[in-house]
Amino acid sequence: MKILSVNAGSSSLKFQMYEMPEEKVLISGVFERIGIGNSFYTIKINGEKIRKEKDLNNHKEAVEYLVQELLENKIIESLDEIKGIGHRVVQGADKFDKSVIIDDEVIEIITELNPLAPLHNPAAVVGINAFKELIPNAIAVAVFDTSFHQTMEKEAYMYALPYEWYEDYKVRKYGAHGTSHKYVANRAQEILGKENCKLIVCHIGNGASITAVKDGKCIDTSMGFTPNAGLVMGTRCGDTDVSIIPYMMKQAGLTYQQIDDVINKQSGLLGISGVSSDSRDIEAGIKEGNERCILAQNMFVRRIVEYIAKYYVLLNGVDAICFTAGIGENGINVRKEILDRLGVLGIEIDEEKNDVRGVERLITKETSKVPCYIIPTDEEVMIARDTYKLIEG
């Protein structure tokens, strides 16, 4: 059965097609700069990566080129071969605790949740409608970033704000990166050979979050009402004193929109270093002796360590700590700095094993009290799995 995994952004469209249930990748790619000029797309097929410059005025045009590539590359002979299309949706709030087949009511609810994810949910609906129009016979499935976190207890997801804010405005912790956290937790269970285990999953990239997982269920997660909570990230500030916001509005004459732009797009590694939001640029600055890059890295690592320690206590010990996503999978120095600071927990890093990028591997010594792993994430295959399961019934 051929299944498409789709991730539609405001100006992008990522895709991956699988033969299921074998989970064989047939083709993958991404359309970029949709609707903003200088657009192009890249596809990867049979190990070869191809880039094409094309005018992409909207997502429908991107889908049209995608269909054209599928046919021309003989991935399919007919659109009817595509039985399912799984769509990543960032915000499902407390409305969805699992993936669902998309109908008009689901689209309506996703749209109602736009204020909670103004950049992501509208783009998801655009993608859903574009595929629905061009590949109408495929069953569409919504896979929510927030659904994995719906197992949190109320004491974990509530804020100490007026209870009416929760009742009337749905102000609570939702988390994000749930599809990634679920994939890594499932894979860790396979590696450890047991379902009943306690894990700390560190999804560390330009956007970053840490989740405490017990017996395959989320107990707590670092992101909150929005993705701008928890860790220091590429351009997001993470946890901060909220009273800074009205203070800066008054002192610097900043508007609400300017403040929102600063805390989401001008803070984090970029704001502290003044150099870049990219961890690789920060490390290059550290080698040059840039004190602000050194500070940014130390703040970044410290916050991660604080959350790992917090969740270690919450879970009353852990069976494994897992690193995933761009920095988690490739940041050799970042992983070393984190694990060195966790030595108090009896963690002993194996520097030779840690000297690797993007592969699944145990990176601690046999004598380490907590095994730590690199586990490359695969959100696309999780989307395909959920879509396949729902189609099969």
Residues classed as catalytic:
145
Structure tokens that stand for 51 in this block: 């880039």
**In this predicted structure, what is the pLDDT of residue 332?**
96
**In this predicted structure, what is the pLDDT of residue 126?**
87
Is 118 part of a structural domain of the chain?
Answer: yes
Domain residue limits at 11: 2-144
Which whole-number Å values give the CA distances from 112 to 122, 308, 393, in the listed order?
10, 34, 28
Total domain count, the chain: 2
**In this predicted structure, what is the pLDDT of residue 46?**
87
Is 313 part of a structural domain of the chain?
Answer: yes
DSSP letter assigned to residue 139:
E
Question: Do residues 190 and 183 lie in contact, with contact meaning Cβ atoms separated by under 8 Å?
Answer: no
Distance in angstroms (rounded) separating the CA atoms of residues 348 and 189: 21
For residue 187, the surrounding DSSP H or E stretch is helix 178-192
Supply the pTM of this predicted model: 0.90
Q: Is 331 helix (H, G, I), strand (E, B) or coil?
A: coil
**Shared-domain flag, residues 205 and 93:** no
CATH number at residue 375: 3.30.420.40
**Shared-domain flag, residues 225 and 366:** yes
**Shared-domain flag, residues 351 and 265:** yes
**In this predicted structure, what is the pLDDT of residue 28?**
94
Is 221 part of a structural domain of the chain?
Answer: yes
Give 24-44 pLDDT, tens digit per residue: 999 999 998 888 888 999 999
Residue type, 152: M
Structure tokens that stand for 89 in this block: 């949706």
Is 168 part of a structural domain of the chain?
Answer: no
Is 288 part of a structural domain of the chain?
Answer: yes
For residue 272, the surrounding DSSP H or E stretch is helix 268-273
Low-confidence ranges of the chain (pLDDT < 70): none
**Shared-domain flag, residues 140 and 198:** no
**Shared-domain flag, residues 128 and 71:** yes
**Shared-domain flag, residues 23 and 92:** yes
